[in-house]
Structure 1
Amino acid sequence: MSKFIEQPRYSCALGAQQTVVAIKKAVPILHSGPGCSGKISSLIGQGEGYAGGNTIPCTNSGETEVIFGGEDKLRSVIEGAFKVIDAELYVVLTGCTSDIVGDDVESVTTEYQKQGKIIVYAETGGFKSNNYVSHDIVVNAIIDQYVDKYKTDLNVEKGLVNVFATIPYQDPYWNGNLEEIKRVLEGIGLKVNILFGHESGGIEEWKTIPNAQFNIVVSTWVGLSIAKHLEEKYGTPYVHFPYLPIGGNETSKFLHQVSEFGKLDKTIVEAFINKEEEKFYSYIERTADFMLEFRYGLPRRFYTILDASYAIGFSKFLLNELGIIPAKQFIIDDTPEEYREAIIQQFNKISEFRSAKVEFLVDGGAVQEEIRKDTNKNRALILGSGWDRDLATELGADLLIVSVPVAYRLTLNCGYAGYNGGLRAIEDIYDSVLNTYR
Structure 2
Amino acid sequence: MAARLMRPRAGCALHGALYAATAIDGVTPLVHATPGCGVQAGLWQGAGGCSVSWPTSNLSEKHIVFGGASRLREQIKNTRGVVSSEITVVLTGCPAEMIGDDVEAMAQEARDAGDEVLDLATAGFRGSAYHGYQSFLQAAVERTVVPGATRAGLVNILGPVPHQDATWLAEIEELSRLIAGVGLIPNPIFGPFGGLSSLRATAQAELSVSLSPWSGAAVRALDDRFGIPWIESAGLPVGAAATGALLERIVAAAGEVDDAAARLFIDRERQREAYFIDRLLETLYRQGGARSFAVALPSLHAGGIVRFLSRTLGWSPAAIFVTDNPPAEHRSTLEDELPLVHYSEDDDEIAALIGSSGAEIVFGSSLERAVADRLAVPLIECAAPTRRLSLTSGFGGSRGGLTLLEAIVTASDQA
Task: Tell me if structure 1 keeps the 8 A contact 2:322–2:341.
Answer: yes
Distance 1:47 1:172 in 2: 7
Partner residue, 2:355: 372
Q: Match for residue 145 of structure 2?
A: 147
Structure 2: segments with no counterpart, 5+ residues: none
Q: Does 1:261 align with 2:262?
A: no
- Deviation track 1:258-291 (CA, whole Å, cap 9, x = no partner) reads 1112233311210111111111211111112222
Change (3 A) 1:146 1:116: farther
Counterpart selection for 2:167 from 168, 173, 190: 173
Query: Which of 207, 223, 226 is 2:218 aligned to?
Result: 226
Q: What is the deviation of 1:45? A: 5.2
Structure 1 residue runs of 5 or longer lacking an equivalent are: 348-355
Partner in structure 1 of residue 389 of structure 2 = 410
Q: CA–CA distance in 2 between the matches of 1:236 and 1:40?
A: 33
Query: Counterpart of 2:373 in structure 1: which amino acid?
Result: T
Give matches, 1:261-410, under 5 Å: 261-263=253-255, 264-294=257-287, 296=288, 300-347=291-338, 356-374=339-357, 376=358, 380-406=360-386, 408-410=387-389
Aligned counterpart, 2:28: 27
Deviations 1:205-256 (A, max 9, x none): 222111111111112x111111111111111111112211111111001101
| Bigger mean CA offset, 95-104 vs 109-118 | 109-118
Post-superposition offset of 1:47 = 4.4
- Number of the residue aligned with 2:127: 129
Distance 2:271 2:394 in 1: 20
Give the whole-Å Cα distance in 2 for the aligned partners of 1:269 and 1:225: 29
1:46 aligned partner, one-letter code:
A
The match for 2:101 is: 103
How far apart are the structure 2 equivalents of 1:337 and 1:301? 28
Coordinate RMSD, CA, aligned? 1.7
In structure 2, C-alpha distance between the alignment counterparts of 1:304 and 1:89, rounded to whole Å: 39
- SS of the equivalent of 2:214 reads coil
Q: Percent identity?
A: 28
Q: Aligned partners of 2:332, 2:282: CA distance in 1, in Å? A: 40
Name the CA distance, whole Å, in 2 between partners of 1:320 and 1:65: 57
Moved over 3 A (4+): 44-49
* C-alpha deviation, 1:159, in angstroms: 0.6
Alpha-carbon offset, residue 315 of structure 1: 0.2
Distance 1:387 1:140, change over 3 A: same
Residue identity matched to 1:33:
T
The alpha-carbon deviation at position 48 of structure 1 amounts to: 4.9
**Preserved CA contact (<8 Å) 1:46 1:169:** no
- Hey, what does 1:432 align to over in structure 2? 411
- Indicate if the aligned counterparts of 2:319 and 2:353 stay in contact, CA closer than 8 A: no
TM-score by length of 2: 0.95
Query: Following the alignment from structure 2 to structure 1, what is the Cα–Cα distance between the partners of residues 392 and 72?
Result: 35
Kept in 2, the 8 Å contact 1:6–1:364? The answer is: yes
8 Å contact from structure 1 (residues 18, 168) kept in 2: yes
Distance (whole Å) between structure 2 residues aligned to residue 423 and residue 67 of structure 1: 56
